[in-house]
Structure 1
Amino acid sequence: MATRPIEQRTRPAPGFAARPRPRRRGGPGRRERWYAYGFLSPGVLGLTVFTLFPVAMAVVMSLYDWPIFGQRSFLGLDNFRYLLLEDPGFLVSVRNTFLFTALFLPLNVLLSLGLAFWISGSRWQQVFRVLFFIPAITPMVVNAVIWKMLYQPQGVIAHYLDSWFGIAAPNFLADSGTAMISVVVMSVWQGIGYNLIVFSAAIDELPRSVLEAAEIDGARGLRKFLRVQLPLMSPAVFFVTTMTMITSLQVFTQTYILTKGGPGDSTVTMVQNVYENGFVSRDLGVAAAGAWLLFAVILLITAVQFLGQKRWVHYEH
Protein backbone atom coordinates (compact mmCIF):
# COMPACT_ATOMS: atom_id res chain seq x y z
CA MET A 1 0.00 0.00 0.00
CA ALA A 2 1.46 3.33 -1.07
CA THR A 3 1.92 5.94 1.64
CA ARG A 4 1.36 9.64 1.21
CA PRO A 5 4.35 11.97 1.18
CA ILE A 6 5.25 13.68 4.44
CA GLU A 7 4.19 17.06 3.02
CA GLN A 8 0.65 15.74 2.41
CA ARG A 9 0.39 14.14 5.81
CA THR A 10 1.36 17.35 7.64
CA ARG A 11 -0.67 19.68 5.43
CA PRO A 12 -3.87 20.90 7.15
CA ALA A 13 -7.19 19.84 5.74
CA PRO A 14 -8.82 22.15 3.17
CA GLY A 15 -10.87 24.91 4.77
CA PHE A 16 -9.03 24.78 8.07
CA ALA A 17 -6.24 27.30 8.72
CA ALA A 18 -3.43 26.32 11.07
CA ARG A 19 -3.99 28.09 14.36
CA PRO A 20 -0.96 29.44 16.19
CA ARG A 21 -0.47 28.02 19.63
CA PRO A 22 -1.68 30.52 22.23
CA ARG A 23 1.00 32.01 24.45
CA ARG A 24 0.58 31.51 28.10
CA ARG A 25 0.42 34.67 30.12
CA GLY A 26 2.97 35.11 32.82
CA GLY A 27 5.64 33.11 31.01
CA PRO A 28 9.37 33.29 31.72
CA GLY A 29 9.87 36.37 29.51
CA ARG A 30 7.27 38.40 31.36
CA ARG A 31 8.55 37.32 34.75
CA GLU A 32 12.08 38.32 33.77
CA ARG A 33 10.84 41.78 32.79
CA TRP A 34 9.20 42.23 36.19
CA TYR A 35 12.39 41.04 37.86
CA ALA A 36 14.32 43.65 35.86
CA TYR A 37 11.84 46.38 36.86
CA GLY A 38 12.21 45.36 40.48
CA PHE A 39 15.99 45.51 40.43
CA LEU A 40 16.03 48.82 38.52
CA SER A 41 13.39 50.56 40.64
CA PRO A 42 15.68 51.52 43.58
CA GLY A 43 18.20 53.14 41.24
CA VAL A 44 15.51 54.88 39.19
CA LEU A 45 13.79 56.09 42.37
CA GLY A 46 17.07 57.43 43.76
CA LEU A 47 17.92 59.13 40.44
CA THR A 48 14.48 60.75 40.35
CA VAL A 49 14.39 61.92 43.98
CA PHE A 50 18.02 63.04 44.34
CA THR A 51 18.89 64.19 40.80
CA LEU A 52 16.01 64.80 38.40
CA PHE A 53 13.69 66.44 40.93
CA PRO A 54 16.40 68.80 42.32
CA VAL A 55 17.42 69.75 38.77
CA ALA A 56 13.82 70.57 37.87
CA MET A 57 13.39 72.55 41.10
CA ALA A 58 16.60 74.47 40.39
CA VAL A 59 15.17 75.53 37.04
CA VAL A 60 11.99 76.76 38.71
CA MET A 61 13.80 78.48 41.59
CA SER A 62 16.12 80.38 39.24
CA LEU A 63 13.07 82.17 37.81
CA TYR A 64 11.68 83.27 41.20
CA ASP A 65 12.51 85.43 44.14
CA TRP A 66 12.75 82.41 46.43
CA PRO A 67 13.71 83.18 50.03
CA ILE A 68 13.99 80.33 52.49
CA PHE A 69 11.12 81.83 54.45
CA GLY A 70 8.50 84.19 53.09
CA GLN A 71 6.53 84.83 49.93
CA ARG A 72 7.85 83.87 46.53
CA SER A 73 7.36 85.95 43.41
CA PHE A 74 8.05 85.29 39.75
CA LEU A 75 10.99 87.30 38.33
CA GLY A 76 11.69 85.66 34.99
CA LEU A 77 15.35 86.14 34.04
CA ASP A 78 16.02 88.90 36.58
CA ASN A 79 18.18 86.64 38.74
CA PHE A 80 20.47 85.94 35.79
CA ARG A 81 20.53 89.62 34.86
CA TYR A 82 21.43 90.54 38.43
CA LEU A 83 24.36 88.14 38.57
CA LEU A 84 25.79 89.08 35.19
CA LEU A 85 25.26 92.84 35.31
CA GLU A 86 24.82 94.01 38.89
CA ASP A 87 26.60 91.62 41.24
CA PRO A 88 30.37 92.33 41.22
CA GLY A 89 30.99 89.38 43.54
CA PHE A 90 29.79 86.91 40.92
CA LEU A 91 32.12 88.27 38.25
CA VAL A 92 35.03 88.12 40.70
CA SER A 93 34.16 84.48 41.44
CA VAL A 94 34.16 83.72 37.70
CA ARG A 95 37.59 85.30 37.35
CA ASN A 96 38.98 83.35 40.32
CA THR A 97 37.50 80.09 39.06
CA PHE A 98 39.10 80.50 35.65
CA LEU A 99 42.41 81.50 37.28
CA PHE A 100 42.35 78.36 39.41
CA THR A 101 41.54 76.22 36.37
CA ALA A 102 44.29 77.84 34.28
CA LEU A 103 46.86 77.03 36.98
CA PHE A 104 45.56 73.66 38.19
CA LEU A 105 44.73 71.96 34.89
CA PRO A 106 48.14 72.07 33.14
CA LEU A 107 50.06 71.40 36.37
CA ASN A 108 47.94 68.36 37.19
CA VAL A 109 48.03 66.87 33.69
CA LEU A 110 51.73 67.47 33.04
CA LEU A 111 52.93 66.27 36.44
CA SER A 112 50.74 63.17 36.42
CA LEU A 113 51.87 62.34 32.87
CA GLY A 114 55.53 62.83 33.75
CA LEU A 115 55.25 60.75 36.92
CA ALA A 116 53.43 58.00 35.04
CA PHE A 117 56.34 57.69 32.58
CA TRP A 118 58.85 57.95 35.41
CA ILE A 119 57.43 55.02 37.35
CA SER A 120 56.55 52.94 34.25
CA GLY A 121 60.02 51.43 34.07
CA SER A 122 60.50 50.92 37.79
CA ARG A 123 60.36 47.56 39.50
CA TRP A 124 58.41 49.30 42.29
CA GLN A 125 55.74 50.54 39.88
CA GLN A 126 52.80 49.09 41.83
CA VAL A 127 54.07 50.53 45.10
CA PHE A 128 54.44 54.00 43.58
CA ARG A 129 50.93 53.82 42.17
CA VAL A 130 49.50 53.06 45.59
CA LEU A 131 51.51 55.82 47.28
CA PHE A 132 50.50 58.47 44.75
CA PHE A 133 46.86 57.34 44.81
CA ILE A 134 46.45 57.58 48.60
CA PRO A 135 45.74 61.37 48.61
CA ALA A 136 43.08 60.88 45.94
CA ILE A 137 41.05 58.56 48.17
CA THR A 138 41.62 60.58 51.35
CA PRO A 139 38.68 62.91 52.12
CA MET A 140 39.20 66.39 50.73
CA VAL A 141 38.32 68.00 54.06
CA VAL A 142 41.03 66.04 55.89
CA ASN A 143 43.67 66.99 53.33
CA ALA A 144 42.64 70.64 53.39
CA VAL A 145 42.84 70.80 57.19
CA ILE A 146 46.31 69.23 57.16
CA TRP A 147 47.55 71.62 54.50
CA LYS A 148 46.07 74.56 56.41
CA MET A 149 48.28 73.63 59.36
CA LEU A 150 51.30 73.27 57.06
CA TYR A 151 50.70 76.74 55.63
CA GLN A 152 50.57 78.48 59.01
CA PRO A 153 53.32 81.07 59.77
CA GLN A 154 54.71 78.67 62.39
CA GLY A 155 54.01 75.60 60.30
CA VAL A 156 56.32 73.01 58.81
CA ILE A 157 56.77 74.77 55.46
CA ALA A 158 57.76 78.07 57.05
CA HIS A 159 60.14 76.28 59.43
CA TYR A 160 62.08 74.47 56.71
CA LEU A 161 62.18 77.50 54.42
CA ASP A 162 63.81 79.43 57.24
CA SER A 163 66.15 76.70 58.52
CA TRP A 164 67.29 75.29 55.17
CA PHE A 165 67.25 78.31 52.85
CA GLY A 166 67.13 81.27 55.21
CA ILE A 167 63.91 82.51 53.57
CA ALA A 168 61.25 84.19 55.66
CA ALA A 169 58.04 82.50 54.53
CA PRO A 170 55.03 84.71 53.88
CA ASN A 171 51.66 84.07 55.43
CA PHE A 172 50.59 81.88 52.54
CA LEU A 173 46.84 81.93 53.16
CA ALA A 174 46.55 85.53 54.36
CA ASP A 175 48.40 87.10 51.42
CA SER A 176 46.32 87.69 48.30
CA GLY A 177 49.41 87.10 46.17
CA THR A 178 50.02 83.59 47.47
CA ALA A 179 46.58 82.39 48.59
CA MET A 180 45.40 81.09 45.21
CA ILE A 181 48.78 79.50 44.48
CA SER A 182 48.63 77.74 47.85
CA VAL A 183 45.18 76.37 47.04
CA VAL A 184 46.43 75.15 43.65
CA VAL A 185 49.44 73.37 45.19
CA MET A 186 47.22 71.57 47.68
CA SER A 187 44.74 70.63 44.94
CA VAL A 188 47.44 69.25 42.65
CA TRP A 189 48.78 67.11 45.49
CA GLN A 190 45.25 65.86 46.16
CA GLY A 191 44.25 65.05 42.58
CA ILE A 192 47.43 63.96 40.84
CA GLY A 193 47.08 60.30 41.85
CA TYR A 194 43.91 59.61 39.90
CA ASN A 195 45.29 60.96 36.63
CA LEU A 196 48.55 59.10 37.22
CA ILE A 197 46.64 55.81 37.38
CA VAL A 198 44.84 56.62 34.11
CA PHE A 199 48.08 57.50 32.35
CA SER A 200 49.85 54.45 33.76
CA ALA A 201 47.13 52.21 32.36
CA ALA A 202 47.46 53.93 28.97
CA ILE A 203 51.24 53.40 29.00
CA ASP A 204 50.79 49.72 29.77
CA GLU A 205 48.49 49.39 26.74
CA LEU A 206 50.91 50.96 24.25
CA PRO A 207 51.56 48.45 21.44
CA ARG A 208 55.10 47.13 21.83
CA SER A 209 55.42 46.42 18.13
CA VAL A 210 54.88 50.09 17.25
CA LEU A 211 57.36 51.25 19.89
CA GLU A 212 59.99 48.79 18.67
CA ALA A 213 59.45 49.86 15.06
CA ALA A 214 59.87 53.51 16.08
CA GLU A 215 63.13 52.71 17.85
CA ILE A 216 64.40 50.87 14.79
CA ASP A 217 63.61 53.97 12.72
CA GLY A 218 65.70 56.06 15.11
CA ALA A 219 63.04 57.55 17.39
CA ARG A 220 64.51 58.14 20.82
CA GLY A 221 63.76 60.19 23.92
CA LEU A 222 61.64 63.29 23.42
CA ARG A 223 61.09 62.60 19.73
CA LYS A 224 59.72 59.15 20.49
CA PHE A 225 57.44 60.61 23.16
CA LEU A 226 56.04 63.42 21.00
CA ARG A 227 55.75 61.53 17.71
CA VAL A 228 54.75 58.04 18.87
CA GLN A 229 53.76 57.63 22.51
CA LEU A 230 51.73 60.80 23.03
CA PRO A 231 49.56 60.35 19.88
CA LEU A 232 48.84 56.76 20.93
CA MET A 233 47.85 58.03 24.39
CA SER A 234 45.70 60.87 23.07
CA PRO A 235 42.36 59.26 24.15
CA ALA A 236 43.65 59.06 27.73
CA VAL A 237 44.94 62.63 27.55
CA PHE A 238 41.56 63.80 26.28
CA PHE A 239 39.72 61.97 29.08
CA VAL A 240 42.04 63.30 31.79
CA THR A 241 41.92 66.86 30.45
CA THR A 242 38.13 66.90 30.22
CA MET A 243 37.49 65.40 33.65
CA THR A 244 40.13 67.57 35.34
CA MET A 245 38.68 70.68 33.73
CA ILE A 246 35.18 69.85 34.97
CA THR A 247 36.51 69.18 38.47
CA SER A 248 38.53 72.39 38.60
CA LEU A 249 35.58 74.55 37.56
CA GLN A 250 33.63 73.12 40.51
CA VAL A 251 36.34 73.85 43.10
CA PHE A 252 34.90 74.71 46.51
CA THR A 253 36.08 72.57 49.43
CA GLN A 254 39.75 73.57 49.24
CA THR A 255 39.12 77.31 49.06
CA TYR A 256 36.39 77.27 51.69
CA ILE A 257 38.47 75.40 54.28
CA LEU A 258 41.83 76.99 53.54
CA THR A 259 40.86 80.63 53.02
CA LYS A 260 37.05 81.01 53.31
CA GLY A 261 37.37 82.84 49.98
CA GLY A 262 39.88 85.34 51.33
CA PRO A 263 41.90 87.32 51.82
CA GLY A 264 39.22 89.69 50.66
CA ASP A 265 37.64 87.96 47.69
CA SER A 266 40.84 86.71 46.07
CA THR A 267 39.88 83.00 46.25
CA VAL A 268 36.07 83.11 46.07
CA THR A 269 34.91 80.64 43.42
CA MET A 270 31.64 80.22 41.55
CA VAL A 271 30.49 77.34 43.74
CA GLN A 272 31.26 79.35 46.87
CA ASN A 273 29.27 82.25 45.41
CA VAL A 274 26.33 79.88 44.93
CA TYR A 275 26.73 78.64 48.51
CA GLU A 276 26.85 82.14 49.98
CA ASN A 277 23.83 83.33 48.01
CA GLY A 278 21.82 80.29 49.02
CA PHE A 279 22.78 79.65 52.64
CA VAL A 280 24.24 82.95 53.86
CA SER A 281 22.09 85.51 52.04
CA ARG A 282 19.23 82.95 51.94
CA ASP A 283 18.28 83.86 48.40
CA LEU A 284 17.78 80.48 46.75
CA GLY A 285 16.62 81.99 43.46
CA VAL A 286 19.91 83.82 42.90
CA ALA A 287 21.85 80.73 44.04
CA ALA A 288 19.98 78.53 41.55
CA ALA A 289 20.67 81.03 38.77
CA GLY A 290 24.38 80.99 39.64
CA ALA A 291 24.41 77.20 39.57
CA TRP A 292 22.86 77.16 36.10
CA LEU A 293 25.38 79.73 34.86
CA LEU A 294 28.17 77.47 36.13
CA PHE A 295 26.53 74.54 34.36
CA ALA A 296 26.38 76.57 31.14
CA VAL A 297 30.10 77.39 31.40
CA ILE A 298 31.06 73.75 31.96
CA LEU A 299 28.77 72.59 29.15
CA LEU A 300 30.18 75.13 26.70
CA ILE A 301 33.83 74.33 27.43
CA THR A 302 33.18 70.58 27.34
CA ALA A 303 31.37 70.90 24.01
CA VAL A 304 34.32 72.82 22.56
CA GLN A 305 36.67 70.08 23.77
CA PHE A 306 34.56 67.34 22.19
CA LEU A 307 34.37 69.24 18.91
CA GLY A 308 38.11 69.84 18.89
CA GLN A 309 39.08 66.25 19.69
CA LYS A 310 38.77 65.27 16.02
CA ARG A 311 41.93 67.24 15.30
CA TRP A 312 44.26 65.59 17.79
CA VAL A 313 42.65 62.52 19.40
CA HIS A 314 43.46 59.29 17.56
CA TYR A 315 41.29 56.27 18.33
CA GLU A 316 42.20 52.76 17.25
CA HIS A 317 39.66 51.25 14.85
Structure 2
Amino acid sequence: MNKTSTESQRALLNELTQAQRERLSYIDFKLYFLGELRRADVVDRFGIGPAAATRDIAQYKEIAPENLILDNVDKIYRLTDCFVPLFEHSPRRVLTSLSHGFGEVVGDALKSMVRCEFPTELSQPKMSVLAPLTRAIYRGRAVKLIYTSVESGRIEREIVPIALVNIGIRWHVRAFDRRRKEFRDFVITRMENPTVLENCSVGENEKVENDLQWNRIIELELVPHPNHPRPEMVEMDYAMSDGVLRVKVRAANVGYMLRMSMVDCSPDHSLEGLEFALCLRDPLALYGANNARLAPGYRDPRPDVQRGPVKAW
Protein backbone atom coordinates (compact mmCIF):
# COMPACT_ATOMS: atom_id res chain seq x y z
CA MET A 1 0.00 0.00 0.00
CA ASN A 2 1.44 3.35 -1.00
CA LYS A 3 1.54 6.50 1.10
CA THR A 4 -1.27 8.16 -0.86
CA SER A 5 -3.62 5.23 -0.21
CA THR A 6 -2.80 5.27 3.50
CA GLU A 7 -3.48 8.99 3.78
CA SER A 8 -6.75 8.57 1.89
CA GLN A 9 -7.86 5.79 4.24
CA ARG A 10 -6.95 7.87 7.27
CA ALA A 11 -8.98 10.78 5.94
CA LEU A 12 -12.02 8.55 5.40
CA LEU A 13 -11.73 7.08 8.89
CA ASN A 14 -11.53 10.56 10.40
CA GLU A 15 -14.93 11.37 8.88
CA LEU A 16 -16.58 8.54 10.79
CA THR A 17 -17.99 8.67 14.30
CA GLN A 18 -16.17 7.03 17.18
CA ALA A 19 -18.79 4.26 17.27
CA GLN A 20 -18.31 3.57 13.56
CA ARG A 21 -14.53 3.42 13.95
CA GLU A 22 -14.89 0.94 16.82
CA ARG A 23 -17.03 -1.35 14.68
CA LEU A 24 -14.63 -1.11 11.74
CA SER A 25 -11.71 -1.80 14.07
CA TYR A 26 -13.48 -4.97 15.20
CA ILE A 27 -13.98 -6.04 11.58
CA ASP A 28 -10.29 -5.38 10.93
CA PHE A 29 -9.35 -7.37 14.04
CA LYS A 30 -11.44 -10.41 13.10
CA LEU A 31 -10.03 -10.51 9.58
CA TYR A 32 -6.42 -9.93 10.62
CA PHE A 33 -6.20 -12.37 13.54
CA LEU A 34 -8.90 -14.95 12.78
CA GLY A 35 -8.95 -14.75 8.99
CA GLU A 36 -12.71 -14.51 8.58
CA LEU A 37 -15.78 -12.46 9.47
CA ARG A 38 -19.49 -13.16 9.59
CA ARG A 39 -22.14 -10.49 9.57
CA ALA A 40 -23.49 -12.10 12.75
CA ASP A 41 -20.15 -11.35 14.47
CA VAL A 42 -20.79 -7.62 14.19
CA VAL A 43 -24.47 -8.01 15.10
CA ASP A 44 -23.68 -10.00 18.26
CA ARG A 45 -20.74 -7.88 19.36
CA PHE A 46 -22.42 -4.47 19.09
CA GLY A 47 -26.09 -5.35 19.46
CA ILE A 48 -27.08 -3.82 16.13
CA GLY A 49 -29.39 -5.09 13.41
CA PRO A 50 -28.28 -7.11 10.38
CA ALA A 51 -28.83 -4.15 8.05
CA ALA A 52 -26.57 -1.92 10.16
CA ALA A 53 -23.89 -4.62 10.26
CA THR A 54 -24.07 -4.94 6.47
CA ARG A 55 -23.52 -1.19 6.15
CA ASP A 56 -20.47 -1.36 8.44
CA ILE A 57 -18.93 -4.14 6.36
CA ALA A 58 -19.68 -2.20 3.19
CA GLN A 59 -18.07 0.89 4.76
CA TYR A 60 -14.97 -1.14 5.61
CA LYS A 61 -14.81 -2.54 2.08
CA GLU A 62 -15.13 0.95 0.62
CA ILE A 63 -12.10 2.12 2.61
CA ALA A 64 -10.02 -1.06 2.20
CA PRO A 65 -11.45 -2.93 -0.81
CA GLU A 66 -8.47 -5.28 -1.13
CA ASN A 67 -8.63 -6.55 2.45
CA LEU A 68 -11.58 -8.93 2.25
CA ILE A 69 -13.53 -11.08 -0.16
CA LEU A 70 -16.93 -12.71 0.25
CA ASP A 71 -17.07 -16.49 0.15
CA ASN A 72 -20.49 -16.90 -1.46
CA VAL A 73 -20.71 -20.58 -0.53
CA ASP A 74 -20.31 -20.14 3.23
CA LYS A 75 -21.44 -16.47 3.32
CA ILE A 76 -18.23 -15.53 5.13
CA TYR A 77 -15.87 -12.65 4.46
CA ARG A 78 -12.31 -13.90 4.27
CA LEU A 79 -8.88 -12.32 4.52
CA THR A 80 -7.14 -11.73 1.19
CA ASP A 81 -3.49 -12.37 0.41
CA CYS A 82 -2.88 -8.64 0.06
CA PHE A 83 -4.51 -7.71 3.38
CA VAL A 84 -3.04 -4.69 5.14
CA PRO A 85 -4.53 -3.81 8.54
CA LEU A 86 -6.58 -0.65 8.48
CA PHE A 87 -5.98 0.04 12.18
CA GLU A 88 -2.93 -0.19 14.41
CA HIS A 89 -3.58 -3.00 16.87
CA SER A 90 -1.75 -2.89 20.20
CA PRO A 91 -0.06 -6.24 20.99
CA ARG A 92 -1.29 -6.10 24.58
CA ARG A 93 -4.89 -5.45 23.56
CA VAL A 94 -4.76 -8.10 20.84
CA LEU A 95 -3.48 -10.79 23.20
CA THR A 96 -6.06 -9.79 25.82
CA SER A 97 -8.85 -9.93 23.23
CA LEU A 98 -7.74 -13.28 21.83
CA SER A 99 -7.47 -14.80 25.28
CA HIS A 100 -10.45 -13.18 27.01
CA GLY A 101 -12.72 -12.12 24.16
CA PHE A 102 -13.36 -8.76 22.54
CA GLY A 103 -16.17 -7.78 24.90
CA GLU A 104 -18.76 -10.17 23.51
CA VAL A 105 -19.93 -11.31 26.95
CA VAL A 106 -20.18 -9.89 30.45
CA GLY A 107 -18.96 -11.26 33.77
CA ASP A 108 -17.04 -14.48 34.21
CA ALA A 109 -18.28 -16.14 31.01
CA LEU A 110 -15.33 -14.86 28.99
CA LYS A 111 -14.26 -17.13 26.17
CA SER A 112 -10.98 -17.08 24.32
CA MET A 113 -11.06 -16.65 20.54
CA VAL A 114 -8.27 -19.18 20.05
CA ARG A 115 -6.97 -21.84 22.42
CA CYS A 116 -4.94 -20.13 25.14
CA GLU A 117 -3.44 -21.26 28.40
CA PHE A 118 -2.38 -19.14 31.36
CA PRO A 119 -0.19 -19.98 34.33
CA THR A 120 -2.29 -19.97 37.48
CA GLU A 121 -2.43 -16.54 39.12
CA LEU A 122 -1.83 -17.21 42.78
CA SER A 123 -2.63 -13.70 44.00
CA GLN A 124 -5.74 -11.80 42.91
CA PRO A 125 -7.30 -8.75 44.58
CA LYS A 126 -10.86 -8.81 45.88
CA MET A 127 -13.21 -6.65 43.84
CA SER A 128 -14.68 -5.19 47.04
CA VAL A 129 -11.20 -3.86 47.84
CA LEU A 130 -10.23 -2.88 44.31
CA ALA A 131 -13.35 -0.85 43.51
CA PRO A 132 -12.94 1.81 46.25
CA LEU A 133 -9.28 2.20 45.29
CA THR A 134 -10.03 2.81 41.62
CA ARG A 135 -12.80 5.26 42.54
CA ALA A 136 -10.33 7.15 44.71
CA ILE A 137 -7.71 7.25 41.96
CA TYR A 138 -10.24 8.43 39.38
CA ARG A 139 -11.75 11.12 41.62
CA GLY A 140 -8.61 12.21 43.48
CA ARG A 141 -9.67 11.13 46.97
CA ALA A 142 -8.01 9.63 50.04
CA VAL A 143 -8.84 6.18 51.42
CA LYS A 144 -8.99 4.84 54.98
CA LEU A 145 -8.25 1.13 55.37
CA ILE A 146 -6.65 -1.59 57.44
CA TYR A 147 -3.27 -2.64 56.09
CA THR A 148 -0.94 -5.45 57.12
CA SER A 149 2.78 -4.92 56.53
CA VAL A 150 5.98 -6.66 57.52
CA GLU A 151 7.20 -3.61 59.42
CA SER A 152 4.07 -2.50 61.28
CA GLY A 153 1.71 -5.44 61.35
CA ARG A 154 -2.04 -4.84 61.01
CA ILE A 155 -2.90 -1.17 61.51
CA GLU A 156 -5.26 1.49 60.22
CA ARG A 157 -3.88 3.82 57.55
CA GLU A 158 -4.92 6.70 55.36
CA ILE A 159 -3.48 6.76 51.88
CA VAL A 160 -4.00 8.79 48.70
CA PRO A 161 -3.80 6.28 45.84
CA ILE A 162 -2.50 7.58 42.53
CA ALA A 163 -2.10 4.48 40.32
CA LEU A 164 -2.47 0.71 40.05
CA VAL A 165 0.65 -1.28 39.17
CA ASN A 166 0.89 -4.88 37.98
CA ILE A 167 4.32 -6.34 38.75
CA GLY A 168 3.62 -9.76 37.27
CA ILE A 169 2.99 -11.76 40.44
CA ARG A 170 0.57 -9.31 42.09
CA TRP A 171 -1.09 -5.91 41.91
CA HIS A 172 -0.23 -3.01 44.14
CA VAL A 173 -1.25 0.61 44.56
CA ARG A 174 1.12 3.53 44.38
CA ALA A 175 -0.06 5.98 47.01
CA PHE A 176 0.89 8.76 49.41
CA ASP A 177 1.11 7.36 52.92
CA ARG A 178 -0.16 9.93 55.40
CA ARG A 179 1.49 8.03 58.26
CA ARG A 180 4.97 8.02 56.73
CA LYS A 181 4.50 11.30 54.83
CA GLU A 182 5.84 9.79 51.61
CA PHE A 183 4.82 7.90 48.48
CA ARG A 184 4.98 4.13 48.87
CA ASP A 185 3.70 0.88 47.34
CA PHE A 186 0.80 -0.97 48.99
CA VAL A 187 -0.13 -4.55 48.08
CA ILE A 188 -3.87 -4.75 47.39
CA THR A 189 -4.32 -8.24 48.87
CA ARG A 190 -3.07 -6.93 52.23
CA MET A 191 -5.84 -4.33 52.45
CA GLU A 192 -9.11 -4.61 54.36
CA ASN A 193 -12.27 -2.49 54.44
CA PRO A 194 -11.18 0.45 52.27
CA THR A 195 -13.44 3.50 52.55
CA VAL A 196 -13.21 6.50 50.25
CA LEU A 197 -12.97 9.73 52.28
CA GLU A 198 -15.36 11.87 50.26
CA ASN A 199 -15.14 14.96 52.47
CA CYS A 200 -11.41 14.90 53.13
CA SER A 201 -9.31 17.24 51.01
CA VAL A 202 -6.09 16.08 49.38
CA GLY A 203 -3.02 18.26 49.82
CA GLU A 204 -0.78 19.34 46.96
CA ASN A 205 2.09 17.29 48.40
CA GLU A 206 -0.10 14.18 48.21
CA LYS A 207 -0.85 14.42 44.49
CA VAL A 208 0.81 12.46 41.71
CA GLU A 209 2.65 15.54 40.45
CA ASN A 210 4.79 15.48 43.61
CA ASP A 211 5.78 11.81 43.49
CA LEU A 212 9.35 12.20 42.27
CA GLN A 213 9.95 8.48 41.81
CA TRP A 214 6.75 8.09 39.80
CA ASN A 215 7.48 11.03 37.53
CA ARG A 216 11.14 10.24 36.93
CA ILE A 217 11.59 8.22 33.73
CA ILE A 218 14.70 6.06 33.48
CA GLU A 219 16.04 4.99 30.09
CA LEU A 220 17.57 1.53 30.10
CA GLU A 221 19.67 -0.31 27.55
CA LEU A 222 19.26 -4.08 27.80
CA VAL A 223 21.58 -6.39 25.87
CA PRO A 224 22.01 -10.16 25.56
CA HIS A 225 23.79 -11.61 28.57
CA PRO A 226 27.49 -12.23 27.77
CA ASN A 227 27.17 -15.81 29.05
CA HIS A 228 24.14 -16.70 26.96
CA PRO A 229 25.02 -19.39 24.40
CA ARG A 230 22.73 -17.95 21.70
CA PRO A 231 22.73 -14.13 21.85
CA GLU A 232 21.11 -13.96 18.41
CA MET A 233 18.12 -15.83 19.85
CA VAL A 234 17.80 -13.23 22.62
CA GLU A 235 17.86 -10.48 20.01
CA MET A 236 14.97 -12.21 18.23
CA ASP A 237 12.98 -12.70 21.43
CA TYR A 238 13.08 -9.01 22.25
CA ALA A 239 13.07 -7.57 18.70
CA MET A 240 16.34 -5.78 19.40
CA SER A 241 17.73 -3.11 17.15
CA ASP A 242 21.52 -3.34 16.72
CA GLY A 243 21.65 -5.81 19.60
CA VAL A 244 20.07 -3.42 22.13
CA LEU A 245 16.60 -3.21 23.65
CA ARG A 246 15.89 0.35 24.76
CA VAL A 247 13.09 0.80 27.25
CA LYS A 248 11.76 3.63 29.38
CA VAL A 249 10.33 2.90 32.80
CA ARG A 250 9.30 4.88 35.86
CA ALA A 251 11.82 4.90 38.69
CA ALA A 252 9.03 3.73 41.02
CA ASN A 253 8.62 0.55 38.95
CA VAL A 254 12.06 -0.15 37.54
CA GLY A 255 13.15 -2.67 40.18
CA TYR A 256 9.96 -4.69 39.75
CA MET A 257 10.32 -4.77 35.97
CA LEU A 258 13.96 -5.87 36.04
CA ARG A 259 13.25 -8.57 38.63
CA MET A 260 10.23 -9.91 36.76
CA SER A 261 12.24 -10.04 33.51
CA MET A 262 15.29 -11.55 35.24
CA VAL A 263 17.72 -8.90 33.99
CA ASP A 264 21.26 -9.22 35.37
CA CYS A 265 22.05 -5.81 36.88
CA SER A 266 25.30 -6.77 38.59
CA PRO A 267 28.26 -4.46 37.86
CA ASP A 268 30.18 -7.21 36.03
CA HIS A 269 27.17 -9.16 34.67
CA SER A 270 28.25 -12.15 36.74
CA LEU A 271 24.92 -13.84 37.47
CA GLU A 272 24.73 -17.36 36.07
CA GLY A 273 21.87 -19.35 34.55
CA LEU A 274 19.89 -19.39 31.32
CA GLU A 275 17.11 -17.47 33.06
CA PHE A 276 19.36 -14.43 32.79
CA ALA A 277 19.03 -13.86 29.06
CA LEU A 278 19.37 -10.10 29.45
CA CYS A 279 21.72 -7.79 31.29
CA LEU A 280 21.64 -4.08 31.98
CA ARG A 281 24.40 -2.46 29.97
CA ASP A 282 25.01 0.28 32.55
CA PRO A 283 23.80 -0.50 36.11
CA LEU A 284 24.48 3.12 37.07
CA ALA A 285 21.31 3.99 35.15
CA LEU A 286 19.45 2.82 38.28
CA TYR A 287 21.20 5.31 40.53
CA GLY A 288 18.66 7.03 42.78
CA ALA A 289 15.78 4.65 42.08
CA ASN A 290 14.38 3.69 45.48
CA ASN A 291 13.57 0.08 44.55
CA ALA A 292 16.71 -0.59 42.49
CA ARG A 293 17.75 -3.21 45.07
CA LEU A 294 15.00 -5.45 43.71
CA ALA A 295 16.91 -5.75 40.44
CA PRO A 296 18.88 -9.03 40.26
CA GLY A 297 22.50 -8.52 41.23
CA TYR A 298 22.24 -4.73 41.64
CA ARG A 299 24.70 -3.16 44.09
CA ASP A 300 24.26 0.44 45.09
CA PRO A 301 27.52 2.31 44.41
CA ARG A 302 27.04 4.53 47.47
CA PRO A 303 29.14 3.14 50.35
CA ASP A 304 26.72 4.37 53.06
CA VAL A 305 23.69 2.54 51.65
CA GLN A 306 22.82 -0.69 53.42
CA ARG A 307 22.45 -3.68 51.15
CA GLY A 308 19.82 -6.33 51.52
CA PRO A 309 16.37 -7.33 50.42
CA VAL A 310 13.62 -4.76 50.14
CA LYS A 311 10.97 -5.71 52.69
CA ALA A 312 8.04 -4.60 50.55
CA TRP A 313 8.84 -7.28 48.00
For the criterion TM > 0.5, the same-fold answer is no
- TM, length-normalised to structure 2: 0.21
Higher helix share: 1
Higher strand share: 2
Point out which structure has higher relative CO (alpha carbons under 8 A, 6+ apart).
Answer: 1
